[in-house]
Structure 1
């Protein structure tokens, strides 16, 4: 059985661009990463987030001020939001990205999941 513990959750804005990906954290000014592949960009974003968090005072209220907030209902076709789970030690190697899909009829879920899969999969023919 997996050991569970406290996690902080941060909203990440993921954008597929003409040259790769851009990930930013709307609640954290100037915390962003750019990369060619989605996996590379996620890795960089974890490092950026860990660096930012390591410079905060080690008080719960200071950290929670940057955690989960509103996620927009509508976004452009090349943008999606995710949640990044962070352990209290801010170790980027323990961070995980969680994709969110609203509770809707199964056909809608399949459509949204297919769109999400298309955004994180390299596709040179994507018209942006």
Structure 2
């Protein structure tokens, strides 16, 4: 049997802005990070999330109150949602972002994946917004 590690999942709203990126957590409005590149912003968001979680009471119910319960819809072409998985020790170096794509025919999945790849491209692309 494969070894499994307990993970908590948090929904993240990712936005490409004219100056870079902003990530905030859907169920944690005060946890927000911004940066010039997507990679930098993800790094900052992991640190912000870890700091927030470290200050919660040592209670499973307190933690799960902030985990994913729904994924919002968006019509904004510069916004996409992802899931951030967190281990019980809240170590930001073990956090992982998971991109979500709805079930669809292969051509539609490729189109959406391509759009997502363009949104997370380096800062040089942001100036073209």
Is the TM-score greater than 0.5?
Answer: yes
Give runs of aligned pairs for residues 1-128 of structure 1, distance below 5 A: 3-122=3-122, 123-127=125-129
TM-score, L = length of structure 1: 0.94
Alignment coverage as a number of residue pairs? 127
Are the equivalent residues in 1 in contact too, given 2:17–2:126 (CA < 8 A)? no
After the TM superposition, list the runs of 4 or more consecutive aligned residues in structure 1 that deviate by more than 6 angstroms.
none
Structure 1 SS opposite 2:84: strand
Query: Gaps (5+ residues) in structure 1?
Result: none
TM-score, L = length of structure 2: 0.93
Query: Gaps (5+ residues) in structure 2?
Result: none
Q: How far apart in 2 are the matches of 1:38 and 1:77? A: 16
Structure 2 SS opposite 1:39: helix
Structure 1 SS opposite 2:111: helix
Q: How far apart in 1 are the matches of 2:5 and 2:36? A: 33
**Cα RMSD for the two superposed structures:** 1.5
CA 96–105 in structure 1, closer or farther in 2 if over 3 Å, else same: same
- The structure in which a higher percent of residues are strand is 2
